[in-house]
Amino acid sequence: MKKTGISLLFIILSLSLFAQDVYQAERASWLEKAEQAKPALMETICKPLYLVRSVQDPDAFQGWRTEKSEEMDALYNISFKEKKEVIADFGKHITGYYSFFLKTTYRTQDAPLRIKFTFAEVPAELNTPFDPYPGTLSRAWLQDEIVTITQVDQEITIPRRLSFRYVKIELLGYSPDFDFRFADMTCKAVSSAQDIQVPLAATASEEIKEINRVSLETLKECMQTVYEDGPKRDMRLWIGDLYLESLANTYSFKNHDLTKRCLYLLAGLASTDGRLHANVFENPEPHPQYESHCLDYSLLYNVTLLEYLKATGDKETAEDLWPVVTNQVKEALGFVNDKYMFDPYKKEGFLWLFFDWRDGLDRNVAIQGLMVYALNSSYELAKMLGKEKEVKEWPEIAKKMAKAARSELYDSKQGVFVSGPDNQVSYLSQVWMILSGVASPAEGKKALNTVFWMPDAVYPGAPYAYHYLIEAMIKAGMNDQAKEYLVTYWGGMVKKGADTFWEVYDPNNEYLSPYNFFPVNSYCHAWSCTPVYFIQKYPEIFQQ
C-alpha cells in the first residue's frame, strides 16, 4: 500500500510540533524541487556469461575465487533436478531485478518447487555460511532468498532489488513426478548513470586504466534515484558519500541533476533547528534517519554545494540552499571555545564525528581542520553568491582557528600534528591540517612522510579516508606518492579481483568488517569511487 501525500504534511507537522521550523518557508519547495530532479533509471538487461565453481585459494581475496566451469547451456539444456546446484557469473557487478524462467521438460508440474538463490558481490559471500549470523547489522541485508515457485513456465522476478555479480542456485524442493530446467535468467540492471567512456591519455598506465574503469563502475552502480552509499547495503543517501560521488560525477557522468536532487532532499529533510541529517531515505516517502546528525558530514554539505555551483553555475540552487549553509556553520561554531579550538564537550548531548571507520581514531585534529576548510569553502560560496557581507566574520574565525590549531596541535619536534589527550598520531590528522591550510605544503609533506614511517601511526581504515589522504598529498605536492598510493590502494583491490570498489579495504586484513561479519560489508561503495575524480582532475599526475 502506497502512502499518500499526507505523509509529507505529517513530517512537516511533526518536525514543527515542538519548535519553530527554521526552514518553514522553504521546506516544501525544496522537497518539490528534489522530486522534480529525480532521474529516470536507465534499464539494461544483463545475462550471465557462464557457470563457475568456487575454488578455495589462500592467495585469493578472502580465500575464495571462482573459475569458469561450464557454458550457460550446461544449465539451460539439463534437468535442474540433475544439476541441483550451480553458480552463474554475470561477469560484472550489477544492481537490479533478477528474473528467471523455468520450463517443464517432463510431464506436468504437480507440485511447487523450492529454490534458494544467494546473490554475491564477491566469491567469499558464496562460501561463508550466513547462519548463525554474527554480524551487528541486520541479517536481512545478506542476499539469500528462498523462493516457492507455484507455477513454472513463466517468468518469475525476485521482488527485492539485488546487487551482485554471482548467483548461487540451490534446489531445495521438487516433485518426483515432473522435471524442469532453467530456460533463462536475466537481471534488469538499473542506474541513473548513462554508459560513457571517460577518455584517458595514451600515456596512462594499464593499472590506471583499470582503476579508472572500476571507479566508474562503482559510481554508476551507486547512482540510482539518489547517490546511494551502497546498492547492496544501506541503499540510501549519506552526505559523506554524496560529496565524493558528486566530485567523481563532475569528472565522469556529469549527471548534475542528481547532485541537485540530493542537495534539495537533504535540505528538505533537515531538522527544524537547521541541522542536516547525515542520511535520508526515499521510500515510502522521503524521510530522514532518526536524529542522525554527523557534524563533519554537515560541514561537507557546504563544500558539496560549493563544488556543485562551480561545476554547474547553477546560482539559483545555491541561493535557495544558502540558509542550510549558514545553519551548518552556525551549528559547528557552537563547539568552538574562547581559544578558537573545537571542543566536543562545549555543547551538551551526543556529538557524532565520523571521518573514518577506524577504531580508536582521535578526531580532534581532523574536526579542527575540517572546520577551517569548511569555513573557507562556505565563504567562497558566499562570495560567489554576493553574500559575503552576511558572513564577513567567517574568514577571521577560520584564520584564528588555523592559528590555534598550529599552536595547540603541532608537535614541532616530531613534525606532526597530534590529537587528543594521548597525542595520537594519525594519517587523518595530518590530512586535515594540510587540506585546511594549517600546514604549509612543505610541512604537510614532512608530516605525512613522517607518519608513513611510524609503525604505530593510525592509518586509514576505509577508502573514504584514503580519498582525503590522496587529496592532501596532492595539495602537499607529493604527486608521485599520491599516484603510488592510489595505485597501491585502489589498484590493490583491482588486483584482488574487485569489479567495484569496496566499502572497507585494509590491505593487511581482508576480513575487516565494522559489522563483525565481512560478508555484510558493501563491496560496491560510493565513497570508494573517487579515483576517476583524481585521474581526470589531475591528468598530469595520474595519466602520465
Cα(235)–Cα(516) distance, rounded to whole angstroms? 20
β-strands 155-157, 279-281 pairing:
unpaired
Which one of 129-137, 240-248, 328-336, 487-495 is the stretch in contact with its own copies (CB under 8 A)?
A: 129-137
| Cβ distance to its own copies smaller for residue 288 or 369 | 288
Smallest gap from Cβ 142 to its own copies, in A, equals 8
Which one of 9-17, 72-80, 280-288, 468-476 is the stretch in contact with its own copies (CB under 8 A)?
A: 280-288
Tell me if 281 contacts its own copies by CB under 8 A.
Answer: yes
| Cβ distance to its own copies smaller for residue 53 or 107 | 107
285-304: contacts with its own copies (CB under 8 A)? 287-291
Tell me if 283 contacts its own copies by CB under 8 A.
Answer: yes
Cα(297)–Cα(281) distance, rounded to whole angstroms? 16
Question: Of the candidates 216, 251, 286, 271, which has an alpha carbon nearest to the alpha carbon of residue 500?
Answer: 216
The answer to whether 263 and 283 have CB atoms below 8 angstroms apart is no
| Cβ distance to its own copies smaller for residue 193 or 278 | 278
Residues 6+ apart with CB under 8 A from 295: 331, 332, 335, 351, 352, 353, 367
| Cβ distance to its own copies smaller for residue 152 or 300 | 152
Beta strands in 437-484 (DSSP E): none
Residues 6+ apart with CB under 8 A from 261: 34, 37, 38, 39, 225, 226
| Cβ distance to its own copies smaller for residue 290 or 345 | 290
| Cβ distance to its own copies smaller for residue 265 or 431 | 265
Q: Which of 13, 19, 74, 111 binds its own copies (CB under 8 A)?
A: 111
Q: Which of 83, 114, 387, 446 binds its own copies (CB under 8 A)?
A: 114
204-263: contacts with its own copies (CB under 8 A)? 234, 236
Question: Of the candidates 189, 196, 129, which has an alpha carbon nearest to the alpha carbon of residue 163?
Answer: 189
Smallest gap from Cβ 235 to its own copies, in A, equals 9
Cα(364)–Cα(424) distance, rounded to whole angstroms? 10
User: Can you read off the three cell numbers belonging to residue 350?
Assistant: 551526543
Q: Residue 61 is which amino acid?
A: F
The answer to whether 306 and 324 have CB atoms below 8 angstroms apart is no
The residues facing 280 across adjacent strands are: 237, 288
Tell me if 311 contacts its own copies by CB under 8 A.
Answer: no
| Cβ distance to its own copies smaller for residue 128 or 479 | 128
Question: Of the candidates 31, 33, 11, 34, which has an alpha carbon nearest to the alpha carbon of residue 21?
Answer: 11
Smallest gap from Cβ 6 to its own copies, in A, equals 13
Which one of 242-250, 282-290, 358-366, 526-534 is the stretch in contact with its own copies (CB under 8 A)?
A: 282-290
130-159: contacts with its own copies (CB under 8 A)? 133, 136-142, 145-146, 148-151, 153-155
| Cβ distance to its own copies smaller for residue 3 or 53 | 3
Q: What is the DSSP string of 306-325?
A: HHHHHHH--HHHHHHTHHHH
β-strands 113-120, 144-149 pairing:
antiparallel
| Cβ distance to its own copies smaller for residue 95 or 436 | 95
342-381: contacts with its own copies (CB under 8 A)? none
Which one of 105-113, 191-199, 441-449, 466-474 is the stretch in contact with its own copies (CB under 8 A)?
A: 105-113
Q: Which string of x and - marks every residue 53-92 that binds its own copies (by CB under 8 A)? A: ----------------------------------------
Residues 6+ apart with CB under 8 A from 109: 151, 152, 153, 175, 178, 180
Q: Which of 110, 206, 338, 348 binds its own copies (CB under 8 A)?
A: 110
Q: Which of 18, 40, 108, 203 binds its own copies (CB under 8 A)?
A: 108
Buried b (16+ CB within 10 A) or exposed e, 3-40: eeeeebeebbeebeeeeebbbeebbeebbebbeebebe
Smallest gap from Cβ 160 to its own copies, in A, equals 5
Q: Which of 5, 58, 129, 176 binds its own copies (CB under 8 A)?
A: 176
SS3 state at 438: coil
Residues 6+ apart with CB under 8 A from 444: 430, 433, 434, 472, 475, 476
Number of residues near its own copies (by CB under 8 A): 46
| Cβ distance to its own copies smaller for residue 113 or 370 | 113
Cα(544)–Cα(540) distance, rounded to whole angstroms? 6
Q: Which of 53, 84, 160, 346 binds its own copies (CB under 8 A)?
A: 160
Smallest gap from Cβ 496 to its own copies, in A, equals 27
| Cβ distance to its own copies smaller for residue 171 or 200 | 171
Task: Write 447-455 long-range contacts (CB < 8 A, 24+).
Answer: 447/415, 447/416, 447/417, 448/472, 448/473, 448/476, 448/478, 448/481, 449/478, 450/414, 450/415, 450/416, 451/416, 451/425, 451/426, 451/427, 454/416, 454/425
| Cβ distance to its own copies smaller for residue 120 or 401 | 120
Instruction: List contacts with its own copies (CB under 8 A).
Output: 1-3, 107-114, 133, 136-142, 145-146, 148-151, 153-155, 160-161, 172-176, 178, 234, 236, 281, 283-284, 287-291
